[in-house]
Amino acid sequence: MFTISRRISVLAGHLSRRRLWITASSTDPSLSAATTQCINTIRTTLSRTSTSNTCFVLVSQTYSAADIENISDTVTRQLDCRVCGTVVDHIISSSGSNVAGVSMLFHSPEPNESSVPFYVGDEHGRQRLREVAVGRWHNHVTDRFKQHTQWTHGPISATRASSHIQLPQELTSIADPSSVSLILFASDKETRQVLDILDSQFPRAAKLGIVGSQTPFLNGRDYTLLGPNIHTNGVVGVAFSTHTCVPQVAHTGLEAVSNVLRIERCKGNVVLELEQGDAAHLLIAALRKQRGTERVDSRLFARVTSAQGESRVFQVTGGNPAKGGIALDTLRDLSPGQNIQFMMQSVSEHSAISTSHNPRVCFGVSSDHGFTCPEVTTQMFGGATEGGFSYGMPQPHETQTDCGSVFTGSTECAVPGSSVTLDLD
């Protein structure tokens, strides 16, 4: 049960004239009541029915396991739609704050549009790279994995296992992959290979996914991924052929603790040498200057910037002062010539009110200090988890060359306070 009051908050999305998207959320402490509130909101707003309706559901882990097990069947039966979603730490309210409750995004396509639900799991050939890989080149850990995997060798690393994933029939049967403009999904933390094959198969589609909350102490499942069946791992999602949309990423509350430095030498995800010396000792020197500065979080992060001005932010996962190396939380490759700046969290920012009248999706990374969406509308759908989110930008060409760089393909993000938003036309 919730520890908050029984105040119910239901938000109906203000729709475009075609009424393709409807958002609804409830903070009722009873999951049955919260689900009913959302369903009634969607029914009231829905202007037409379709045989391809889908509903993406996020439910906070504050509810009981038994109630969560039944939510997919309830929504499917009462709204006559396909369901996917996951359990999250919190949903995102219209004020941008994280609250306990249920958040739904309902889609009713036009006759010339489609929405295709799918599931990708270990049975499709997905390998668990984050469980076996520490460094991104051969060592005693990755070599142990080599007997089961073909490695792609580059000039500085053997970063990625050649993907053996077979996409499910639901996705391979899409006649025109270029018609897919948005892939919305929920997953466990092993998204890298799935993202790579989605990037390859659907380069023109924006990708937006949330890593579900881990639920072993809630219901005995590693993760609780919702669909026609409940999955304990993998990726559940929907491929939409709708209007083009572009994700917007924000890393709020981060403050630089070092100068911007050029990477001189690196290997895989490990920075070895910077323009002023080895990476570990330069970071230690920068942290000494921060003594006495109050921080909300002691973790370290790094903003990596390309020569073209693109940037990505990763958590610093380890360092070796003896060898001078610093490892970043990515399964992609860094390159000499890129710039890096080390950062720490400071005071979180407050939400701003957007002038957009479109439904907005927001996925965020929660922490002990909570999460606040940087810009909100009255039509919010979304949630936050410690596992974070994944995002990918639509590409203008049918094929995209993937060299394994942190700046090619979709990106995984688990930096606390970060968010990705998407306005739906």
What are the tens digits of pLDDT across the range 117-131? 999 998 888 877 765
- CA–CA distance, 17 with 4 (Å, rounded to integer): 36
Spatial neighbors of 143 by CB under 8 A, at least 6 apart, are none
Residue 20 pLDDT: 83
DSSP 8-state symbol, 177: G
Q: List, for residues 337-366, the tens digit of each pLDDT value.
A: 999 999 998 765 555 655 566 889 999 998
The partner residues of 119 in beta bridges, in order of sequence, read 236
Q: List, for residues 131-175, the tens digit of each pLDDT value.
A: 544 444 433 333 332 333 333 333 333 344 445 788 999 999 999
Beta-carbon count within 10 A of 44 CB: 10
Q: List, for residues 19-70, the tens digit of each pLDDT value.
A: 589 999 999 999 999 999 999 999 998 866 667 899 999 999 999 999 999 9
Question: What is the reported pTM?
Answer: 0.86
Which residue in this structure is represented by tokens 């990705």?
A: 420
Instruction: Give the helix ranges, DSSP H, for 120-251.
Output: 129-132, 140-146, 169-172, 192-201, 216-219
Beta-carbon count within 10 A of 285 CB: 12
Percent of the chain exceeding pLDDT 90 equals 58
Spatial neighbors of 215 by CB under 8 A, at least 6 apart, are 61, 65, 87, 221, 222, 223, 224
From 333, 324, 299, select the one nearest 414 (Cα to Cα): 299
Residue 379 pLDDT: 87
Residue 425 pLDDT: 72
The partner residues of 319 in beta bridges, in order of sequence, read 326
Are the C-beta atoms of 41 and 12 separated by less than 8 Å?
yes
Are the C-beta atoms of 91 and 141 separated by less than 8 Å?
no
Strand 82-88, strand 54-60: pairing: parallel
Distance from the Cα of residue 109 to its chain's centroid: 24
Residue 205 pLDDT: 95
Residue 104 pLDDT: 97
Strands (E), 113-187: 114-120, 182-187
The larger pLDDT score, comparing residue 93 to residue 409, is at 409
Q: Is 295 helix (H, G, I), strand (E, B) or coil?
A: coil
Q: Which two tokens stand for residue 354?
A: 């957007």
Mean pLDDT, residues 218-240 taken together: 96
Residue 350 pLDDT: 58
